[in-house]
Amino acid sequence: MTTVDHALAPPDPLASQRARRTAVRTFRPRRSWPAFLAGAVLVLVAAVAAAEVISALVGSPLRMLPYQQAASYAEGARWSDPSVRVASAVLAGIGLVLISLAVLPGRSRWLPLRTDDPDLVVGISPAALRRALSSAAEDVDGVRRARVRLGRRSITVRVHTDLGEPGTLPTQVETEVRRRLSELAPLRDLKVRTNVRYAKA
């Protein structure tokens, strides 16, 4: 098979699927700040606890934490006490928040594009995508200004025109934006919505 035949051959479905998985993993947003803060708090607590234990074993406790008061309170506390229930609920809530931050993806700074090649990963920033789609909408005759808003599953194009009658302008804008979107080939399917503001009569 020649190089031209290889380039014109239809993409391998398995390769396309592997490329999609690779792009999703590569551009999956990382929640680095929550992980850093949680790790810093754990390291601080562990350091203080280690210092307290070592100083107590040496014979000169630091007493940075009122652990004796906490131990005496814990000996007399019961699960039915309101303070114990409130503390348990707060700790459980903090744990659920941390689990949610770890499981749920954040907002990505890049939008992966389709390449059908597992060894090639390409992404575009939301700002660059908005500029490209706005430029495509402004290329339509009659459009004075266009702004694009990106959602998770949709794209809203707001167009300002000096025309007083609707005509076919919304269809033309939507067609041009879809054409530019198909050229960029984002990995996620995005619906295009057009909102045209006409000149006042």
The DSSP-derived string for 9-77 is SPPPHHHHHHHHHHHHHHTPPP-HHHHHHHHHHHHHHHHHHHHHHHHHHHT-----S-HHHHHHHHHH-
Topology (CATH level 3) of domain 125-197: Alpha-Beta Plaits (3.30.70)
What pLDDT sits at residue 101?
74
- Walking along the chain (201 residues) 10 residues at a time, the average pLDDT comes out as 47 66 66 75 84 80 72 74 86 83 72 79 86 92 90 89 80 92 86 83 52
Token duo for residue 161: 């025109």
How many angstroms separate the CA atoms of 5 and 117, rounded? 17
The Cα 63–Cα 56 span in angstroms is 9
Residue 15 CA, distance from chain mean position = 25
What single-letter amino acid sits at 60? S
pLDDT score, position 8: 46
Please report the pLDDT score of residue 54 as a whole number.
83
